[in-house]
Chain A
Amino acid sequence: MAETTVNVSTEEKKRVNPQMENFKNVWRKLRQNYLAMAGGILIVLFMIIAIIGPWITTGDPLAPNVADRLEGPSSQYWFGTDHHGRDIFTRIIHGMSITLYIGFLSVFVGMIFGVVFGIVSGYYGGRIDAVIMRTMDVLLAFPGILLALGIVAVLGGSINNVIIAISIFSIPVFARIVRGSTLSVRKLEYVDAVRALGASDFRIIFRHILPNIMSPIIVQATLRIATAVLTASGLSFLGLGAQPPTPEWGAMLAAGRNYMWEHPHIALFPGLAIVLVVLAFNLFGDGVRDALDPKLKS
């Protein structure tokens, strides 16, 4: 009896969930990928800035200070001031949360709808598949920024409408990937086996198919955040997104455009911020892709 107990406990220790095992593998591969780790560290840093930044920066990102307008970088104003005399550093720190909020939320919403459409399409096939996927094809036929422009033009310019626009043009990207993965998983014998067990479609889809197609969804979500950030800044730059005086980087970039020659720092720092965030997510996303699914590497 004592022997069996010992046996069981050693086996217990060795026993790991294959998902956990997989997670460990992914983490090991990610750690070896210096670029991806740099991206990951930057993302964490950005998130910390987004959360605590507004509490530690002095000054109001919206308050004009006509006396100090258009000043270059100095010890008082690290990134200089803009044409209203607002501290650019403070505004960029405050803009971080807006950028990440748009990036995460729009991709999350797009992902939810895309996964549902894709999984339903791939699982049921036939006419449902045809209707959903042709609709997705129509959405994909527009260049992303053009579609977002159109949606924001209809809905009106605001941060929430930007999120809606980016969500909508993210849906088909997720739907396609999820449909493909669903098609390959639903043909596997264990799906037949649970169906023969009397499981409902809902149960099969969410309990048995979804957990097995998470890798490509995670990879795509990470990479899409970079696109979302870039598109959101683009829309705001064009005046269709966040409205002044919101410290949104795209809008700041647009405002700095008029002072490009005499005071380039006004446009330079928001531009750099956008580049850094997009770069961080792209590096991290590429690393996650390589680690999660080497087959996806093109």
Chain B
Amino acid sequence: MDNLKDNDTKTIIKVDDLQTSFFTHKGEVKAVDGVHFDVPAGKTLGIVGESGSGKSITALSIMRLIEAPGRVKGGSITFNGEDLLAKSEAEMRRIRGNKISMIFQEPMTSLNPVYTIGDQIAESYQIHQGLSKKQALEKALGMLELVGIPSPKARLKAYPHELSGGMRQRAMIAIALACNPELLIADEPTTALDVTIQAQILGLVNDLQKDLGMSMLLITHDLGVVAETCDYVAVMYAGKIVEYADVNTLFANPKHPYTVGLLKSLPRHDIDQEELEVIRGMVPRPDDLPNGCRFAPRCPFAREMCVERLPDLEDQGDGNQVRCWIHTDQWDGPEVNVRDDYGYSESTQS
């Protein structure tokens, strides 16, 4: 732990050109297509995108939990300098839940109904540290205290159906953090919860992350959650990252039309709004992706070149990386200021 603190810039996980596809009878479906990112030690990276953008598949690829007919087709995932894709299944089992943990979206169904909360937290210690049931349960009690579950001693013997959604998610966090992982992957951890409980759980996750010094990969479709929690943000669209920036830059100066569209569709209280803004159209089906920019069919600025050719993710010099022709010198259209011309700040729509 100490050497992690000494070296803040150390990268915990580096994902490079990750490609995960599903091979169905209709052909290859590219769910994740050339994704790059890294998470520095102790920092949080948010992956944002609509349903079907490939963010959960990215998480499952890191855990090596993609099931047939899916397969990680290419790229590399480097965790603490080791290539996860080269690991055997047995080696991966020692990493899962121990070095890299995951929290799932649905606290209602992510706990086994026939075992107590204590049993399920203890299982982590039994698998990874070979503790006896009794020792494991003692440590489980400590975890319940850590995640702020009231009267933890009694809750240890509670079954999942006896707990509320928020309490179950706390229990899930206790299970995930039991072995003190270096990386926590949270896949929409608050989506299924009430708004007030969401705030509590996010606060808890944030605090624990700081206290335990772990890195986090937060998958969400909620930009509000990103603003509260993340240090860096990757915006995903149809299997590709379209914008990658630190959180302040992204919110202050979004560059990709999709990012701006997402920001614009957040409800705002500083202006009068008759109705919520939307990005028109649908995410393209992963088995029928456009050849050019994947956002082109929905983009208000799209030109012929956007439909024909896919832009690269290019460094903008100010910390932003954007995948959009507008921000290249090849752009052949009139000058566009995505933010203003999309009407993000004014939020007026004809």
Contacts and interface: CB of A to CB of B under 8 A. Distances in A.
B282 interface: no
A196 interface: yes
Interface string A1-30: 000100110011001011100000000000
A200 B123 CA distance: 12
Given A8-B151, A8-B153, A196 B63 contact: yes
A185 B336 CA distance: 52
Given A7-B151, A8-B153, A189-B106, A199 B113 contact: no
Contact of B127 (A11, A198, A211): A198
A197 interface: yes
A184 interface: no
Contacts, number: 84
B188 to A, nearest CB: 12
Contacts of A18: 113-114, 159, 161
Contacts of A196: 63, 65, 96-97, 101-102, 104
B114 A203 contact: no
B227 interface: no
Interface of A is mostly: helix
Interface in A182-217: 188-190, 192-200, 203, 208, 211-212
A190 B154 contact: no
Given A8-B154, A203-B127, A193 B94 contact: no
A294 interface: no
Interface residues on B, range: 35 or more
A23 B177 CA distance: 34
Contacts of A4: 151
A190 B110 contact: yes
Nearest to B93: A198
A193 B104 contact: yes
Contacts of B127: 197-199, 203
Interface of A: 4, 7-8, 11-12, 15, 17-19, 125-126, 188-190, 192-200, 203, 208, 211-212
Given A12-B154, A196-B63, 13 more contacts: A7-B151, A7-B154, A11-B154, A15-B154, A17-B159, A18-B113, A18-B159, A189-B104, A189-B110, A190-B112, A195-B65, A198-B98, A198-B124
30 contacts: A7-B151, A8-B151, A8-B153, A12-B157, A18-B114, A18-B159, A18-B161, A189-B105, A189-B106, A190-B110, A190-B112, A193-B104, A193-B111, A193-B172, A193-B175, A194-B123, A195-B65, A196-B97, A197-B101, A198-B92, A198-B95, A198-B96, A198-B98, A198-B124, A198-B127, A199-B123, A203-B127, A208-B112, A211-B114, A212-B114
5 tightest Cβ-Cβ pairs between the two chains A and B: A197-B97, A198-B97, A198-B96, A196-B102, A189-B109
